[in-house]
Structure 1
Amino acid sequence: MLKNLISELQQYARIGIFGFGVEGKSFYRFAQKYLPNSELVIIDKNHASCDENYLKKLGEVDLILKSPGISLYNLGIDYKAYNFSSTTELLLKHFKNRIIGVTGTKGKSTLVTLIHALLKNAGKKSVLCGNIGTPAFDILEVLDAETTIVMELSSHQLLHSNNSPHIAVLTNLFEEHLDYYRNAQEYYEAKFNIFAHQNENDIFIYNLPQKLAYGYNVYAKALKYKVNFTLQNGFIHKASLQILEKLKDILALDDAVYLQTIQNFQTLPHRLEFVQNIQGVSYINDSISTIPEAAIQAVKVLKNVDTLILGGYDRGVHYEALIDFLLQSEIENIILFSDTGKKIYDALHVKAKHKKLFLFNNLQECVKKAYNISRSIVLFSPAASSFNEYKNFEERGDEFKKIVSSLKG
């Protein structure tokens, strides 16, 4: 399989690496070793080899490996105008039968971590890669005929893909990343590529309680397993274990291995992560919450939240469901900041006369206010992206934890 991958790439004299981030650098290392006769052209506005006309290089290469972080829509580039591919697409094409792929708006990281642990506990060889952990091309040298590849796949990685993994899992779908796509339909269709190119020998497991208003009709897919499960920001509930149990049966693994996996599972950071208890008040970091539905689920899981901190980058996602939920909830204090915080505040302050609403400039001010008014649980579940103020949700969550740690107990 590796031989076939190298053989395919050797036909290209000049290969462009469009976006020199984690995946771009991973491919660069691979190409230096296995493609000595191919010229590598870095196409990245932030790289020293490029100037403001860096996009002209797209027309000067034979193949372009595009980073998932680059939105062609925002750049006004037609995908069909150039010979685009990606490391994800190449891995799916050449290693399909070894791959268990997981996508969905929420729950991906928790689920792939569980699957990887399940295989390890069963004594199977497994590598975890993709949108979590190791870049796809960094694992190629450790693969053998017995190794299963467990991949977390984002919509950006799946967009335009013409290949699907042997075992595909779709956890759920909600509006997200609308700053990257033309519309929600394109986002959903990107997700559907995880199973759209499967054949009669493949397996598709999904959790969609009802038909979507538009997009690929998963209900027309003949070979699938439908389960009703939810992965709520890293907490394992009985319903969420259906997916792992289904995989256990498909892979013919022992029940004891399954039980060992769920008993030893450690919640991932920034997913309803307990930070500290200060004067009887628990502070919970749920920075992974980048959409309204995630914040709603977090409140439902914890049940006794009296202070909720919300806000982040506005990507055009609709907040009506969250606003309605907050109006009907028992949350006493709603503390808001940043772009979406202002949007939610404007919608709530005329309706929520029984709520205490606060709007601040930054997260530090929010946490300090929460410290002064909270009695049970302070939940930081932003319901929005972090990209206007932070590098990613991890950096945002780390700052929340740092601020909490500085509070006087």
Structure 2
Amino acid sequence: MRIAIAWYGAEGQSSYRYFHERGDDVTIVTPQVSSQFPLPEGAKAIVGEHAFDHLSDFDVVVRSAALRPDRIVTNGKIWSATNEFFARCPVPIIGVTGTKGKGTTSSFVASILREAGKAVQLVGNIGVPPLDVLSLLQPDDIVVFELSSFQLWDLQKSPHTAVVLMIEPDHLDVHKDMAEYIAAKSGIVKHQTAQDTVISHPLNRYSEEIARQSPGRRMHFADSGEHEVYIRDGAFYRDEQRICGTDAVQLTGDFNLENACAAIAASLEYIDDFAAIERGLRRFTGLPHRLKLVREVNGVRWYDDSIATTPGSAIAALQSFAGKNIVILLGGSDKGADYTPIVQEAQRVGAIVVAIGHTGETIAKLCQSHHVRVIREAGMMPEVVRAAAEIAQPDGVVILSPASASFDQYKSYSDRGDQFVAAVEGIATHGTN
């Protein structure tokens, strides 16, 4: 079978390896090749600006997640690594989606199930590429799959357990509008059966809109209805059964308690071991760049929340430190978001804004119109961190929670976060001079 791997990065590399080892006639088709992902020795390849004009004669085009399906013109079948995995996976899949919190919730689920003695494969953006583990799966395994809208766009089989976290406008630089974004996210339930389960956020209309499309059993998290997982008096409950204290969660922010509720609800579909749930929550101490404490310098605590690429996630970060003297670093590349809500929240909690990156100018003007103290800093992270250090108050916090993507100045949100951490370490060692 003639197969094209459309776009070559981490996912394309995994797809090439999988189909090549299966014995297919595989060609890599990509606009460019990066030094991080060089072409395999001897691989067939079509490389160049117009590479995707040459897809028509392949039997199957395997698109990488970031490539819109409607950009592919072919007489063959349009497919993806995610579709291939779902079609051939012989064990239950717990799928997790949402605008933010996917990685944390997926990690909570994996940690809990492992503490209960289950063999778990964590795949997706935070785990390994799914096709890398397909041949390794054993009959008693459980797969936890973090799923973005790009992976769900054309999914043809839905997970047995679908978790739909809070949804807010995002990726509107790729999706045409919010309706298309929600339609893509809906792939997580669209092909469920009556035997499957969807767990949704009861107070988020988009999460509920997606959940209503499932023919399976519907549950809520962070809600006190029958068979639901919720928080009461500093503890997690299912119905009237106390599971464990919320202090088992080692992460900052009330939103992480909601993520834990969702993870507990999903885990209880497969285990009934409250002690394992508590151990699993305690064992997971967080992913990089997700409201992680970098260090304290001169009485100021610095937090890396570079993953916060939407206003809603930055608002959640601000709310986690209400009552503190807050400096928040906002701005980056534009994804079509409205920054008014985050500026209004900064005004409410009395935060000072350091406006950075391409969207910094827009954010600075909004701050001025809302009477929020703002400093515009167009430099790279060392300059940004020095500017923040000069205005931060003892016993206060500085948060990198940009509400924007990173591609204006950095390779990725993780690169932005790494440079922030390095700059904070720099002022801890050498001061701000």
TM score, norm. by length of structure 2: 0.84
Alpha-carbon offset, residue 131 of structure 1: 1.9
Alpha-carbon offset, residue 379 of structure 1: 1.0
Q: What do residues 206-231 of structure 1 show as CA deviations (whole Å, max 9, x unaligned)? A: 11415349975727755211223799
State the match for 2:55 in structure 1. Answer: 58
State the AA in 2 paired with 1:99.
Answer: I
Rate the CA distance shift 1:321–1:351 in 2: closer, same or farther, 3 A.
Answer: closer
Coordinate RMSD, CA, aligned? 2.4
Q: Does 1:373 align with 2:391?
A: yes
Select which of 253, 271, 283 maps to 2:272.
253
Alpha-carbon offset, residue 255 of structure 1: 0.9
Alpha-carbon offset, residue 370 of structure 1: 1.1
State the AA in 2 paired with 1:70.
Answer: L
Q: Does 1:26 align with 2:24?
A: no
Partner-residue secondary structure (3-state), 1:302: coil
Whether the 8 Å CA contact 1:232–1:298 is kept in 2: the answer is no
CA distance in 2, matches of 1:384, 1:210: 21
Select which of 337, 341, 352 maps to 1:317.
337
Select which of 295, 300, 312 maps to 1:293.
312
CA distance in 2, matches of 1:135, 1:217: 26
Partner-residue secondary structure (3-state), 2:3: strand
State the match for 1:39 in structure 2. Answer: 25
State the AA in 1 paired with 2:417.
Answer: G
State the match for 1:134 in structure 2. Answer: 128
CA distance in 1, matches of 2:355, 2:298: 23
Q: Does 1:351 align with 2:358?
A: no
**Which deviates the most, 209-218 or 240-249?**
209-218
TM score, norm. by length of structure 1: 0.89
Whether the 8 Å CA contact 1:360–1:366 is kept in 2: the answer is yes
Rate the CA distance shift 1:178–1:336 in 2: closer, same or farther, 3 A.
Answer: same
State the AA in 1 paired with 2:11.
Answer: E
Partner-residue secondary structure (3-state), 1:384: coil
Whether the 8 Å CA contact 1:233–1:294 is kept in 2: the answer is no
CA distance in 2, matches of 1:227, 1:174: 17
Q: Which runs of 5+ in 1 are unaligned?
A: 1-12
**Which deviates the most, 198-207 or 89-98?**
89-98
Whether the 8 Å CA contact 1:185–1:215 is kept in 2: the answer is no
**Which deviates the most, 152-161 or 80-89?**
80-89
CA distance in 1, matches of 2:207, 2:219: 21
Alpha-carbon offset, residue 166 of structure 1: 0.7
State the AA in 1 paired with 2:8.
Answer: F
Alpha-carbon offset, residue 238 of structure 1: 4.4
Rate the CA distance shift 1:248–1:136 in 2: closer, same or farther, 3 A.
Answer: closer
Rate the CA distance shift 1:214–1:183 in 2: closer, same or farther, 3 A.
Answer: farther
Q: Which runs of 5+ in 2 are unaligned?
A: 34-44, 224-229, 231-248
Rate the CA distance shift 1:140–1:214 in 2: closer, same or farther, 3 A.
Answer: closer
Residues 134-213 of structure 1 mapped to structure 2, 5 A cutoff = 134-212=128-206
Partner-residue secondary structure (3-state), 2:47: coil
Rate the CA distance shift 1:214–1:112 in 2: closer, same or farther, 3 A.
Answer: closer
Partner-residue secondary structure (3-state), 2:122: strand
Partner-residue secondary structure (3-state), 2:179: helix
Rate the CA distance shift 1:185–1:202 in 2: closer, same or farther, 3 A.
Answer: same
State the match for 1:111 in structure 2. Answer: 105
**Which deviates the most, 398-407 or 51-60?**
51-60
Aligned residue pairs, count: 389
Rate the CA distance shift 1:100–1:59 in 2: closer, same or farther, 3 A.
Answer: same
Q: Does 1:361 align with 2:378?
A: yes
CA distance in 2, matches of 1:112, 1:216: 19
Q: What do residues 302-335 of structure 1 show as CA deviations (whole Å, max 9, x unaligned)? A: 221421111100111122211222222221x211
Whether the 8 Å CA contact 1:107–1:171 is kept in 2: the answer is yes
What is the aligned-residue identity percentage? 29
Alpha-carbon offset, residue 51 of structure 1: 2.9
Rate the CA distance shift 1:323–1:137 in 2: closer, same or farther, 3 A.
Answer: same
